[in-house]
Amino acid sequence: MGSVQAVCDRCGREHLVFRSCRSRSCPRCQSQAREAWLEARERELLPVPYFHVVFTVPEALNEIALYCPEVFYAALMRAAGNALLDVGRSKLKAELGCLAVLHTWGQNLSLHPHVHCVVPGGGFSLDRTRWVGLRNAFFLLPVKVLSRRFRTLLTQALYVAVRERKLERLPESVKAIRLISKAGAQDWVVYAKAPFGGPEHVLEYLSAYTHRIAISNSRISSFDGEHVTFRWRDYADGNRMKTSTIGAMEFLRRFLMHVLPDRFVRIRYFGLLGNRNRMKRIEHARRLLGCTRVLVFKNRIKPLILCPACHQLAAPMKTRAFVRPPPMPNSSLLSA
């Protein structure tokens, strides 16, 4: 998309600022989209505690995710959201809601599909005439119920995908039925955290999960032309920060595993937060809660571009348009 040549008013250093490519897989270009998304979500928060629930799948299903991502990830998100709704109806006789965000990576860029769900602390009664609040114990006790329901929904969806020949991209050596059966025989992990301190903390947490893929630039320590060194947190070793150095092609391979299929929606809403008539349901929930106060949020720092020499923001910075020239035609192709 070309670039803009900026001049720092403090030190006079000239440097290029690349225009945003607006790709959702770019670790640099999503800050403005993230801010706009967060501001839109502020208008939808309810004055109730919020819960954080994480759905993970056994490693045996990673091969299906690798070769048939659009089928597997769609089934994964539906199973996570519907498991929450089903348990809410059966345990509380209430219609819950959740915002689900797909994650496909671990800290060292390995393939680790899981879904983060943020759940309001309550829901509508089945006749929608009153608000049913959730106590802390609700999400601490039925984790096993959630994991079993989640396992049932996802394995059933994958069996249907096999019958409908949607997993034909799997290699012949990989037997989908065997993988699904192996995973279905294991105990699945659903992790539920205690409620956040308040609605304002929910948005701060979501900001790290909505508009970012695999790794941020801040975790890349160096690149010498052949090897990439990056930092990552080892949760299995007491959350210790570690450093790994891998080849550039291996780094690209790991990163590209997490680029989602074209047009795939990685942020989805279920239950009372579903897209259809969402604001009407939120207004109805506020009436049932007797919410009269206006939620006030602190001003978030807007992303800034600093001078690479003096590391200061020049206000204003002088810029000159510097559009990338068109690519030169390949002479060998022309001669052919």
pLDDT tens digits, 49-94: 888 899 999 999 999 999 999 999 999 999 999 999 999 999 888 9
Residue 4 lies in a domain: no
Q: What is the pLDDT of residues 84-114, one digit of tens each?
A: 999 999 988 899 999 999 999 999 999 999 9
Phi-psi region of 103 (alpha: psi -120 to 50; beta: other; left: phi over 0): beta
Helices 199-206 and 31-42: crossing angle in degrees, nearest 10, is: 160
Percent of the chain at pLDDT above 90? 50
Amino acid at 76: L
pLDDT at 281 over 60: yes
Examine the domain organization and report whether 238 and 284 are in the same domain: no
Look at residue 310 and tell me if it is in a domain. Answer: no
239 and 139 belong to one structural domain: no
- 327-331 average pLDDT score: 46
Residue 235 and residue 247 in one domain: yes
Adjacency order of strands within the sheet including 318-322: 14-18, 3-7, 318-322
Q: Is the pLDDT of residue 198 over 80?
A: no
Where in the sequence is the domain holding 271, given as residue range(s)?
Answer: 46-214+262-294
Residue 215's closest CA among 226, 223, 204, 224?
223
Quick check: is 1 in a domain? no
What is d(CA 286, CA 317) in angstroms, rounded to the nearest whole number? 45
Cα first-last separation, the chain:
30
| Helix, strand, coil % in the chain, rounded to nearest 5 | 35, 25, 40
Most confidently predicted of 152-156, 278-282, 287-291: 152-156
Average pLDDT over the chain reads 83
- The pLDDT of residue 330: 47
**104 belongs to a structural domain:** yes
- Specify whether 163 is located in the same domain as 270: yes
Please count the CA atoms within 13 angstroms of the CA of 291 that sit on its side-chain side: 16
Q: What pLDDT sits at residue 204? A: 73
Q: Is residue 308 part of a domain?
A: no
286 & 253 share domain: no
Geometric angle at alpha carbon 40, from 205 and 196, rounded to 5°: 25
Return the structure tokens found at 203.
Answer: 């948005």
130 and 170 co-located in one domain: yes
Of the candidates 73, 56, 57, 60, the one whose C-alpha atom is nearest the C-alpha of residue 180 is 60
Q: What percent of the chain has pLDDT over 70?
A: 82
Consecutive H or E run containing 133: strand 131-133
pLDDT tier for residue 33 given thresholds of 50, 70 and 90: confident
Give me the pLDDT at residue 27, please.
63
- Structure confidence at residue 254 (pLDDT): 94
Whose CA is closest to 47, among 120, 128, 132? 120
Average pLDDT (104-130) is 92
Tell me the per-residue pLDDT of 218-277, one tens digit each, with 9 for 90 and over: 899 999 989 999 999 998 888 899 999 999 999 999 999 999 998 899 999 999 999 888
pLDDT at residue 196, rounded to an integer:
66
User: What pairing do the DSSP bridges indicate for beta strands 50-56 and 111-120?
Assistant: antiparallel
Whether 244 contacts 250, CB under 8 Å: no
Band of residue 292 on the pLDDT scale cut at 50, 70, 90? low
* Domain-located, residue 66: yes
Would you say residue 33 lies in a domain?
no
User: Do the domain assignments include residue 238?
Assistant: yes
Residue 314's CB is within 10 A of a number of other CB atoms, namely: 18
The residue ranking higher by pLDDT, 319 or 13, is: 13
Position 133 confidence tier, pLDDT thresholds 50, 70, 90: confident
Closest among 139, 158, 55 to 91, alpha carbons compared = 139
pTM > 0.95: no
112 and 147: one domain?
yes
Considering 257, 284, 313, which residue would you say is the last residue of a domain?
Answer: 257
The stretch 23-33 carries a mean pLDDT of: 72
Region 179-189: mean pLDDT is 94
Q: How far is CA 100 from CA 68, 119, 270, in A?
A: 20, 9, 8
Contact criterion met (CB below 8 Å) for 79 and 71 = no
Do 119 and 233 lie in one domain? The reply is no
Shared domain check, 200 and 60: yes
Contact 100, 78 (CB under 8 A): no
Amino acid 144: pLDDT? 87
What pLDDT, on a 0 to 100 scale, did the predictor assign at position 331? 41
Domain total of the chain: 2
